[in-house]
Structure 1
Amino acid sequence: MKIISAVLSLFFVVSVASAQNLTPPPTKPTTTVDFKIGEDDFLLNGKPFVIRCGEMHFARVPKEYWAHRLKMIKAMGLNTVCAYLFWNMHEPQPGKFNWEGMADAAEFCKLAQKEGLYVILRPGPYACAEWDFGGFPWWLLKKKDIGLRTQDPYYLARCRIYLNEVGKILAPLQTTNGGPIIMAQVENEYGSYGNDKEYIGKIRDYLVEAGFKIPLFTCDGASQLGEAVRDDIFSVVNFGGNPESAFKELRKVRPTGPLMCGEYYPGWFDSWGAKHHTGSTEVVVKEIKYMLDHKASFSIYMAHGGTTFGQFAGANSPPYAPETSSYDYDAPISEAGWDTEKFHALRNLFKGYLQPGETLPEIPKRNPLIVIPAFATTEIAPIFSNLKSPIKAEKLRNMEEYDQGYGSMLYRTKLSKKNSSILNIKDVHDFALVYINGKRIAVLDRRKNENSCKLPATKSGDVLDILVEAMGRVNYDSDMYDRKGITDKVTLTELNGTEKELKGWEIFPIPLNNNAAPKNLKYKRGKTTMPSFYKGSFSLNETCDTFLDVSTWGKGLVWINGKCLGRFWNIGPTQTMYVPGPWLKKGKNEVVVLDYLGPIKNILAGIKTPKLDELTKSAKNTVHRKEGQNIQLQDITPVYQGSFESGIAWQTVKFNTVKGRYFCLEALNSQRKDDPYTTIAELYLLDENGKEIPRNNWKIAYADSEERDEDDGKADNVFDLQGTSIWHTQWSDKSPKHPHQIVIDLGAEISCSGFKYLPRQNVENGRIKDFKVYLSSSKFKGL
């Protein structure tokens, strides 16, 4: 998804800055530029052009800092900037469009042109980008039977309306009109989702209808290229390593034309409860140098990640993994816009590949920082004391059906006299607090697949409250139909096994605004253990950037002067929130904190250094193997055993079709001698026809070892659709030897005729050599 626009941006910049007659983007939309896709190269005014592009999302950067960040991108040595449009930011309600403030896409493009950068545009309608719902507006989910990313008539009609509005705003800024936009992407990484090439053609046609005359392209990962490539739309490939192998895959579907990497990953995004991700500077420089030496264009995703302010951070699934508000990405330009070691290494690299007459500008100074002394919140407004009139309903419904996009929802009903029972919620989306008569009984976390809890004995008339917080909607793959609140029903199971659905509800919507702090709350002084809003203030003599330390708080959201900084959660890895200087003011500044769990200390402070990698102990130690647990395979005949080839390319293993629910891959050794580790980037199973089996119901049932303390090596990474994240057996504390096993519960019995394995991409450690495969209809002994 990020790959296409990044690639396009890069190629456009390179062409413009092409050798001999360096042609920067016109600083005013008057002079047109001829940009074309040739047999071997991108052609800028008829001459070969290499795009050196970097991705930056203007929605993740305060508008006041757009010029600074673009200057940084230019100073790093790039000639193009790539940018997504997020549909849900530009059309927050059907037919109501927003192109102002941080949604002012036209102004961003004009500023890029002023800094001598071309623009690659990624308008959607689908983006992904770890953004809520992949950029789709939440209100699409009000239609119960909507078919996202399909030829569903309603979905296509809304896409057409949206893209037509995009054309009104941005088509005048194409290079054909003297503007900086050289290419535009059609959809995004569709090959990882579907194979309806007619659908891709329709989205392309809507862009043309909207007035886009520049080259259009699609992007996909190397293994998905064949699913969505059309002969009449240019294509690029996304990858986080091994450009030689990825470009070979691109050549299989695109024999001619320039090579381009649409998304090259210098780091990775973070999810709550997992380690902060980083990428090797040495590897990044080596692989970008390879592309430059082979005259391949590229887009660095991200050149500058920024921050997902408000409630726009998305989630991956399965398993459900909401992403942090910090989108630092270990990018060359940090979350706060700082130059990094990676920035300087790439700047030095690019100095050797400049076009004749091209020079690099000076590096802009970092924005200054301030320390805000610790201050306490002084007032509280408990959620339960600030409820509005309820909606009464016999059966409950999800948040979208109540015309609510973001925030929380409280579901309330009265219980009858019962002995202890089990409360079952189908399903919790995403974080629930369960109360009886105002006393908290349980906390349920969707990340852990928690949908039930034990209730004590109750008497007739006891009040059951279920407060559900909506976190990020899934932004990738088939789990995107991610409606919030309680998605189906609530039942009670008695000790004798009798199950009964609870009915007769009062529903209290608690909508939260991304652009303004909650209003009309009844604040008071005092203390509480209930979910509450906390208010405090501090005074400033000067306004500069800072990082708000929220490490003593529980879980929730923060607003400063009405601007929502994003989410915090004490599990980490992020323990601070970036505060842009322009959002502060001299004199009194007001802070509102919503905390569902309650703080250890109601203290806040502004510090100069972010805390991006501080996990709590409970978050670090979540593994898929109980202490002393081992599965027994010695009495089971494997369905296949063999050896993988060395290297990093996808490998396919086929065997006679077998039915089963539990799939086990056992690694007997590694490609490197005396290497005790096992690593896997991705796994797909194949059905009886050799087609990939959907993975949305998969769960890890067992992994003998996982690195969770010093790296994100969880076993779930083998089906997270990301080739740069891996299952890695433990290495920081101890290094258990082979064999290593991973067991996947497929969710139902399936017919399997083989599997596809993607080795670890960046280094050789842990790549499997000899292996065995087991498939069983029942659990393996020891599970």
Structure 2
Amino acid sequence: MNKLLNIGLSVLLTLGAVTGLQSCSEKQTGTFEVGKGTFLLNDEPMVIKAAEVHYPRIPQPYWEQRILSCKALGMNTLCLYVFWNLHEQEEGKFDFSGNNDIAAFCRLAQKHGMYVIVRPGPYVCAEWEMGGLPWWLLKKQDVQLRSLDPYYLDRVKIFMNEVGKQLADLQITRGGNIIMVQVENEFGSYGIDKPYVTEIRDIVKGAGFTDVPLFQCDWSSNFTNNALDDLLWTINFGTGANIDQQFKKLKELRPETPLMCSEFWSGWFDHWGRKHETRDAATMVSGIKDMLDRNISFSLYMTHGGTTFGWWGGANDPAYSAMCSSYDYDAPISEAGWTTSKYFQLRELLQQYAPEGTTLPEPPAPFPVMEIPAITEWEVAPLFDNLPEAKHTEDIKPMEQFDQGWGSILYRTVLKNDISGVLHIDEVHDWAQVFADGKLLGRLDRRRGEFTLDLKSTLKKGTQLDILIEAMGRVNFDKSIHDRKGITNKVEVVSGKNTVELKDWMVYNLPPFYEFVSDKKYQKGKALDAPAYYRATFNLDKTGDTFLDMQTWGKGMVWVNGHAMGRFWEIGPQQTLFMPGCWLKEGENEIIILDLKGPVETKVMGLTKPIIDMLREKAPETHRKDGQDLNLKDETPVNKGQFAQGNGWQEVKFASPVNGRFFCLNATSNYDGNNIAAIAEFDVLGENGKPVSRENWKIAYTDSEETRSGNRTADKIFDLQESTFWQTVDNTAYPHQVVIDLGKEYKVTGFRMLPRAEKNAPGLIKDYSVYVKKGNFKY
């Protein structure tokens, strides 16, 4: 950072520290309590205006600038998760240093008059690898995560006690700035298990968090499932939601409790192969105004998203979809820490709600940005020529059983007989390339449910068969967090009625650590149409933030000066990687790229603006083939009806059960009088009247899906996210149909439907009919 910027920032820091906003004092003790209809800070009413930020998604040298940006926005509190798997990457080895020094982050917030809400999990979601749970838990075959499993709880307790050592003394009663601590996270979306939530509460208390209110957050549709009497209850929802409807049930159950939206979603996260997500600024600001006018506290998720550096991005399932490295989130403060139009619209509002007579401080200056000329001279180390020592296994096992957490893994066998037919990999987690004697036979993508490869010719005895698997992010939501990587079960060859399982494998672990990728035999060379490592150096006479342009590369990861920057994938929407200037240096810098697919051109330059909205995915955006039309002419509905007006879940029970695998909802009208149909979430009820598992659901057909203005495809009805939704296009008339392949046959007794969360539930279906079949419908 240059001297002028340093001086300017120091002045801003001083101004921020002495501003007249309601704030915490560095060394004085205080109190924070749940009062009658309000929170009480030192016995005075307080509305929490919290900014959600995540310390590992911000380089440590930039923490202060981001904190001051939140303060200048008008926030009085920071809200943050504690990422278990970041702090305990190996079982029993804890790291709270450097960028992991969460206590230092909290103290820095206190220095600038900001309170802190801590969300220590143990599960955090956050679009983070495995929802923050450590991969090594999966080495235990029968582990049951987020349950009363003794092994799991023992490890949770050890972790939470370590967090307590870092943060318990920073509670406000002990002179710190922590005012609330969360117990678990959105557990109602995972299951119903009050004894488990009770155990986590006791573990949190046992770690020393006894002086401030403990709370649990969930959605308005499920917060009572695990609600404990002695915890504060808060609700999570997104921009545009009907505020009164979201808090209606809570106000009925606890009429005198202070209300808080513990996650008000300012934007949304991006997936590889899907359009960049945005949310309207005016709608966000309007929702916050509605809450402030009702004395409702909030935490804006995210106020600043930042970057999911390295291999820490998570994934959704169903259907499997990995997260991009950019966690820009369309938040008011951009990925690189820039103030946006959304920021200033919100700041204008929050100035009106600042303590009387005070003026919000000016935002700190952004860090300088710079271009870097194209880097074109590279050394190359072919992956297959640089393999580590192999491990032998008779049967296929997932990555975790070879003591590997992240990266890629190569399974190799030499065929003992001729094989032909279809290669079936059960299952690919997550992106596979299959080679025979070094020749690429094909690629398989878990996102598309690709687990089989047609062997177009016979592979002869003695052929070396290689299956190279890249592990993308572990699922961070619902039961699929038990997400083992590599090949999870077995490899078979299917030929007619004959099935042969392949055995006797050599396994090569390819972790994503700098120490591993730098220790290769690099030689001058050109782009390879095969997996390879690339290394180059470049010189700088000054440093600044930049965005590494990866548009000519295939798929892989990047390291600069030893820092793992994140993933790239040609399909987009992200085409650049944020490169913080604080990790560059004057003079010589090193860049290493692992490209598993192969680049079109070995060129990287540094841009002054990011590219996070360029989608190059060739797969169809919708679930309807050209010319395909659902034919229900000869089908008999199992149920007909009319949905009620309003928000919230609606449940329908059939007069009698019906067996089937394919479920069709046929909508014939809506309440708005236009062409649009919309559904946020959908459940099919099984024999016991409870929702069947959605883990293996697929959309077999949808007549219409809006993909121009957003990601509103039909799979949104079972993505376990109440703020996303399926929506039809506005120029396609009713009727509208969606057909779900449930994955197997069930005794179906009914279904549940959740409309959009906005007031008056836009696109709410009125009249409908339902069809259930054992086999697929006619198209």
- Shorter-normalised TM range: over 0.9
Corresponding residue number in structure 2 for 1:498 = 498
The 5-angstrom pairing of residues 691-710 of structure 1 reads 691-710=690-709
Please give the secondary structure, in 2, of the residue aligned with 1:222: coil
Corresponding residue number in structure 1 for 2:748 = 752
Aligned equivalent of 1:184, options 176, 181, 203: 181
Q: Distance in 1 between matches of 2:183 and 2:377?
A: 48
Corresponding residue number in structure 1 for 2:205 = 208
The residue type equivalent to 2:525 in the other structure is G
Corresponding residue number in structure 2 for 1:479 = 480
Please give the secondary structure, in 2, of the residue aligned with 1:420: strand
Could you tell which deviates more after superposition, 163-172 or 658-667? 658-667
1:667–1:740 CA contact under 8 A, matched in 2: yes
Deviation at 1:745, TM superposition (A): 1.0
The 5-angstrom pairing of residues 180-579 of structure 1 reads 180-213=177-210, 214-240=212-238, 241-418=241-418, 420-455=420-455, 456-494=457-495, 496-513=496-513, 518-527=517-526, 528-579=528-579
Confirm whether residue 147 of structure 1 aligns to residue 144 of structure 2: yes
Confirm whether residue 32 of structure 1 aligns to residue 33 of structure 2: no
For residues 240-263 of structure 1, give each alpha carbon's deviation from its aligned partner in whole angstroms, at most 9, with x where no partner exists.
122211111322443431001010
Q: 1:542 to 1:517 in 2, by over 3 A?
A: farther
Deviation at 1:417, TM superposition (A): 4.6
Corresponding residue number in structure 1 for 2:3 = none
Q: Distance in 2 between matches of 1:740 and 1:399?
A: 43
Aligned equivalent of 2:65, options 48, 56, 68: 68
For residues 535-580 of structure 1, give each alpha carbon's deviation from its aligned partner in whole angstroms, at most 9, with x where no partner exists.
1222111111111110111100001111111001011111111000
Q: Distance in 2 between matches of 1:747 and 1:617?
A: 26
Corresponding residue number in structure 2 for 1:6 = none
Q: Distance in 1 between matches of 2:132 and 2:218?
A: 18
Q: 1:99 to 1:523 in 2, by over 3 A?
A: same
2:518–2:592 CA contact under 8 A, matched in 1: no
For residues 253-282 of structure 1, give each alpha carbon's deviation from its aligned partner in whole angstroms, at most 9, with x where no partner exists.
434310010100111001111111111111
Identity %: 50
Deviation at 1:696, TM superposition (A): 1.3
- Moved runs in structure 1, 4+ residues, more than 4 A? 762-765
The residue type equivalent to 1:188 in the other structure is N
Confirm whether residue 669 of structure 1 aligns to residue 658 of structure 2: no
Q: Distance in 2 between matches of 1:41 and 1:687?
A: 42
Deviation at 1:421, TM superposition (A): 1.3
Could you tell which deviates more after superposition, 425-434 or 710-719? 710-719
Deviation at 1:492, TM superposition (A): 0.6
Please give the secondary structure, in 2, of the residue aligned with 1:161: helix
Corresponding residue number in structure 2 for 1:9 = none
Deviation at 1:367, TM superposition (A): 1.3
Corresponding residue number in structure 2 for 1:103 = 100
The 5-angstrom pairing of residues 593-742 of structure 1 reads 593-619=593-619, 621-656=620-655, 657-673=657-673, 675-730=674-729, 735-742=731-738
The two structures have a TM-score, normalised by structure 1, of 0.94
Unaligned runs of 5+ in 1: 1-16
Q: Distance in 2 between matches of 1:23 and 1:526?
A: 60
Q: Distance in 2 between matches of 1:671 and 1:695?
A: 28
1:517–1:564 CA contact under 8 A, matched in 2: no
Confirm whether residue 115 of structure 1 aligns to residue 112 of structure 2: yes
Corresponding residue number in structure 1 for 2:5 = none
For residues 309-353 of structure 1, give each alpha carbon's deviation from its aligned partner in whole angstroms, at most 9, with x where no partner exists.
010000000110000010000001110111111111111111111
Q: Distance in 1 between matches of 2:233 and 2:522?
A: 56
Q: Distance in 2 between matches of 1:583 and 1:98?
A: 20
Q: Distance in 2 between matches of 1:205 and 1:175?
A: 20
Q: Distance in 1 between matches of 2:505 and 2:617?
A: 38
Q: Distance in 1 between matches of 2:254 and 2:313?
A: 34
Q: Distance in 1 between matches of 2:112 and 2:53?
A: 14
1:661–1:775 CA contact under 8 A, matched in 2: yes
Please give the secondary structure, in 2, of the residue aligned with 1:457: strand
Q: Distance in 1 between matches of 2:665 and 2:611?
A: 37
1:517–1:559 CA contact under 8 A, matched in 2: no
Q: Distance in 1 between matches of 2:652 and 2:36?
A: 36
Unaligned runs of 5+ in 2: 1-16
1:283–1:762 CA contact under 8 A, matched in 2: no
Q: Distance in 1 between matches of 2:390 and 2:319?
A: 33
Q: Distance in 2 between matches of 1:643 and 1:367?
A: 56
CA RMSD in angstroms comes to: 1.6
2:77–2:116 CA contact under 8 A, matched in 1: yes
Could you tell which deviates more after superposition, 166-175 or 707-716? 707-716
Deviation at 1:40, TM superposition (A): 1.2
2:51–2:300 CA contact under 8 A, matched in 1: yes
Q: Distance in 2 between matches of 1:440 and 1:22?
A: 62
For residues 667-704 of structure 1, give each alpha carbon's deviation from its aligned partner in whole angstroms, at most 9, with x where no partner exists.
2123222x222221111122344323221121111112
The residue type equivalent to 2:110 in the other structure is Q
Q: Distance in 2 between matches of 1:373 and 1:305?
A: 28
Q: Distance in 1 between matches of 2:129 and 2:451?
A: 22
Deviation at 1:71, TM superposition (A): 0.3
Aligned equivalent of 1:92, options 75, 89, 92: 89
Deviation at 1:207, TM superposition (A): 1.2
Could you tell which deviates more after superposition, 429-438 or 40-49? 40-49
Could you tell which deviates more after superposition, 482-491 or 764-773? 764-773
Q: Distance in 2 between matches of 1:679 and 1:571?
A: 28
The two structures have a TM-score, normalised by structure 2, of 0.95
Number of aligned residues? 754
Confirm whether residue 137 of structure 1 aligns to residue 138 of structure 2: no
Q: Distance in 2 between matches of 1:520 and 1:592?
A: 11
Q: Distance in 1 between matches of 2:630 and 2:414?
A: 45
Q: Distance in 2 between matches of 1:707 and 1:576?
A: 27
Q: Distance in 2 between matches of 1:368 and 1:208?
A: 44
For residues 7-39 of structure 1, give each alpha carbon's deviation from its aligned partner in whole angstroms, at most 9, with x where no partner exists.
xxxxxxxxxx9xxx975211x2x3111110012
Q: 1:131 to 1:682 in 2, by over 3 A?
A: same
Q: Distance in 1 between matches of 2:516 and 2:151?
A: 34
